[in-house]
Chain A
Amino acid sequence: MKRIGFSTGAIAFGDFGRALSLLSRFEVNAVELSALRFAELDPLLRAIDHLDLRQFQYVSFHAPSKFSAEDEPRLVQLLRRISDRKWPIILHPDSIFRPELWLPLQDALCFENMDKRKPVGRTAAELQSLFDLYSKASLCFDMGHAHQVDRTMSEGRLIAQRYSRRIRQLHISEVNTRSEHVPISAASEFAFSKVIDLLNQDTPIIIESVVREDEIESELIRVVGVFEGAIRELCSKDWG
């Protein structure tokens, strides 16, 4: 069975408790606990031992995307609690100040390819310098970001091809011109279907589309449909 679920930040901004409660109503078996804003980190870490996560076969943790250089050593220290659990730590490559601080965590680090606002980590070539430094780190392949960076998805294909062994998790959503994560439309479906053949079908899928409570189910169905549709198309192709 495919491992699929939501980022807690996408369905209940800044309220992981409510997000988990919402997800308990759906047949999802993956979750990304989001502490995207630095202020969310401490409450989430304080609660983490008491969260009921039995529903999920896969759990990842999104580290803050912005923090100060002064906060960086403390953040790395705090994230050890996540790496001890063997959960992937999703990290934006542009947020790092002192790369050496993160080396001890590299087994858990899962770098996300970035949207076009960011100066690094957007393309296969830019990701290479990260993996040169963190050879054991993995990749969270954000299909929406890849689509925003290159609408043809050729950069997305390049990332999926070059780092196929490193891809530990997928992020899926439509990323609009303001770099917001919105529900996927037919245009995104067309785009994402161009890379699905390159992905390991067991890779966990985390939906990042910001949706209302009443849109969770339809977004879930939509995303499952994108993957199943692409696989069906692949199977029906005449390869002769």
Chain B
Amino acid sequence: MSPLSSNAIDELCLKVDRRWKAIDAAKKDADTGIQRIANILADHRLVSSDTSFVVFGSLARGEWTVNSDVDWTLLVDGEANPDHLKVSQQIKSRFIQAKLNEPGSTETFGKLAFSHELIHQIGGEGDSNKNTTRRILLLLESRAIGNPDAYDRVVKNVLNRYLDNDISFLSRSGQHYKVPRFLLNDIVRYWRTMCVDYASKHRERQGEKWALRNAKLRLSRKLIFASGLLTCFNCYLKPPPEFKNNLFDLPEHMEPLLLHLKAHVRLTPLEILADALVSFAKPETAIQIFDAYDRFLTMMNDGEIRKHLDSLQAKDAHSDKVFNEIETISNKFQNGLNRLFFEENADIAELTKKYGMF
């Protein structure tokens, strides 16, 4: 089994002898956007040593397209400081000046986030929808711009919470890492929450931007769920080398596993998916999934199509040509994922049945 790769998309391209233009372009545009933001933050020294500026969404996934929002938080991991609010307000106004799109209206992003809530409030009454969203997206689609110290600390502590609260991170035989069930359940819960919230938002907002949300749920949101499952499965499927090299000297501490999961956090969902496709899927499945996603990004990068989807009502969707194409590509994407998770590799199929369903 090849180890987790940080340039898995390139490896996949080599394996199937194909490049995906929209995926490449979105990555390049995301890098440009990140550099632009990095310059604004550095010019005005907006990130203090006890904070990290973190982006989520398409920018963090490396899928930047026209009219993409900049979903960000100023992540605080230090003492309470009243001036952090002023800094986050200054960031907001600098971004408006730079004509960067503001985050969506849920107010999950575009403001301060605090490490204590993310680390301590996992489950239970205190774990609000907003907190769950920030925490899971921190693990599945986030990126620090500028000094990553606070970000790295928080990610490590959140992962530590998940591992520490599992009874054991080793299998009964002691020869494998187990799939981290606590983390996996939270990822599954978040995916289901997104699906339920999609229906709730449809009702609350009287169908406004329904089609765009539907398209994202079918593709980009499903992608992060799939990459989250693979992140957890890889603890078993692609154990960290420290473990493999020490089969008779089992690690008693969770550090190698923690670092292994942290390595996944540094990758984009598409990179994690590409890595799994290289290792576990047939080339035609990989092509089907990436072709579908590439077409999705092409459509998202077309201002006219976005505008059309913005105003499309659910009642008109089935007769709409653009939406029909979204349905077609999302079905191809889903079918490809079905093959990856249920059909082409016995280990993944077993893990999906064991952990993904009940």
Contact = CB atoms under 8 A, between A and B. Distances in A.
A188 B48 contact: yes
B49 A185 contact: yes
B81 A187 contact: yes
Taking each of B45, B47, B82, B86, which has the highest tally of chain A beta carbons within 10 Å of its own beta carbon? Answer: B45
Contacts of A182: 49
Given A186-B87, A190-B86, A151 B47 contact: no
Nearest to A189: B45
Nearest to A175: B49
Contacts of B45: 183-186, 189, 222
A208 to B, nearest CB: 14
B87 A176 contact: no
A152 interface: yes
Q: How large is the interface on B (under 10, 10 to 19, 20 to 34, 35 or more residues)?
A: 10 to 19
Contacts, number: 47
A174 interface: yes
Given A183-B45, A184-B45, A186-B90, A176 B82 contact: no
A130 B153 CA distance: 38
Contacts of B49: 174, 176-177, 180, 182, 185
B290 to A, nearest CB: 41
B87 A187 contact: yes
B78 A190 contact: no
A159 interface: no
A174 B81 CA distance: 14
Contacts of A183: 45
A218 to B, nearest CB: 9
A152 B82 contact: yes
A182 B80 CA distance: 19
Interface of B is mostly: loop
B79 interface: yes
A20 interface: no
B84 interface: yes
Contacts of A186: 44-46, 48, 86-87, 90
B102 interface: no
A188 B51 CA distance: 12
B204 interface: no
A142 to B, nearest CB: 16
Contacts of B47: 185
6 contacts: A176-B50, A177-B49, A185-B46, A185-B47, A186-B86, A189-B45
Given A151-B79, A176-B49, A187-B83, 14 more contacts: A152-B82, A177-B49, A185-B45, A185-B47, A185-B48, A185-B49, A185-B87, A186-B46, A186-B86, A187-B48, A187-B81, A187-B84, A187-B86, A190-B86
